[in-house]
Amino acid sequence: MARPDKASAVAELTEAFRSSSAAVLTEYRGLTVSELKDLRRSLGTDTSYAVVKNTLTKIAAQEAGVSAFDALLQGPSAIAFVKGDPVEAAKGLRDFAKAHPFLVIKGGVLDGKAMSPEEIRKLADLESREVLLAKLAGAMQASLQNAVSLFNAPLSQAARVIDALRAKAEADPSVLRGGAGTPAPEAAAEPEAAAEPEAAAEPEAAAEPQTSTDAASDEASTDQTSTDETSTDEASTDQTSTDQTSTDESSTDQTQG
């Protein structure tokens, strides 16, 4: 190959590395031309599958900053340059390799990171971008429905409360004026009613010592009265006895004379 052709091939490969989100290096030894066409179709339009020269590919990879293929560029090599969903490309390569064991996945690079054949198979086991987007859309729709229900719940509750208040006001218009329908005055009246027995109980409790004092005074007055009557009776008796004695003595003197 002439030097200008090699430079053009290297530039083309370098641009392919730089513009691809992923690249998978394979060995195609034993595959027919027809099988290679089937492989390209299975990878889709977003992935190109190119048979490459190892020396030119190594130069192009170095210029693009890809070092994952340095030790792997041996034997018949072909690279799948992925510009779409890497999962879909990995699934296509894995499935084709199962049906055609001559296709060997040697390694790859994803977003500048080297990947082993095992990691590429694990990547193929993941769900595709379309499936993930569909699940994400479904989750977002469910979240939006939950949000709508959450926002509608307080509104519906408020509407029910307002409707109940309206029905109550129609049955008892005084509710709107704070009348009999308003429970606040009834609640305020209960402490006043409960306070009356306490206020009435205080004078009774205070009256008990006064009653005891009056009883003591009455008893003292009764004792004094009894004492005065006894003294008066005794004085009258003594006086009567004295007068009677004087009368008797006068009668005796007159008789003797």
pLDDT digits (tens, 9 = 90+) for 107-148: 999 988 999 999 999 999 887 555 556 656 766 666 666 666
Q: Quick check: 244 pLDDT over 50?
A: no
Q: Quick check: 228 pLDDT over 60?
A: no
pLDDT computed for residue 4 by the predictor: 77
d(CA 114, CA 108): 6
Tokens for 257, please give them.
Answer: 């004379």
User: For the packed helices 117-124 and 86-99, what is the interaxial angle rounded to 10 degrees?
Assistant: 110
pLDDT computed for residue 151 by the predictor: 62
CB 87 within 8 A of CB 38: no
d(CA 127, CA 144): 24
Of all residues in the chain, the percent with pLDDT exceeding 90 is 40
User: What is the residue whose two structure tokens read 């210029």?
Assistant: 63
Contacts of 12 (CB under 8 A, 6+ apart): 60
Confidence of residue 162 (pLDDT cuts 50, 70, 90): confident
**Residue 77 bridge partners (DSSP):** 27, 52
Strands of 132-215, DSSP E: none
pLDDT computed for residue 126 by the predictor: 87
Q: Can you tell me the mean pLDDT for 223-229?
A: 49
pLDDT computed for residue 35 by the predictor: 94
pLDDT computed for residue 207 by the predictor: 43
Q: Quick check: 66 pLDDT over 60?
A: yes
Average pLDDT, the chain: 73
The larger pLDDT score, comparing residue 1 to residue 68, is at 68
CB 17 within 8 A of CB 64: yes
pLDDT computed for residue 254 by the predictor: 43
Confidence of residue 183 (pLDDT cuts 50, 70, 90): low
The larger pLDDT score, comparing residue 79 to residue 210, is at 79
pLDDT computed for residue 5 by the predictor: 83
d(CA 76, CA 32): 13
Of all residues in the chain, the percent with pLDDT exceeding 70 is 55
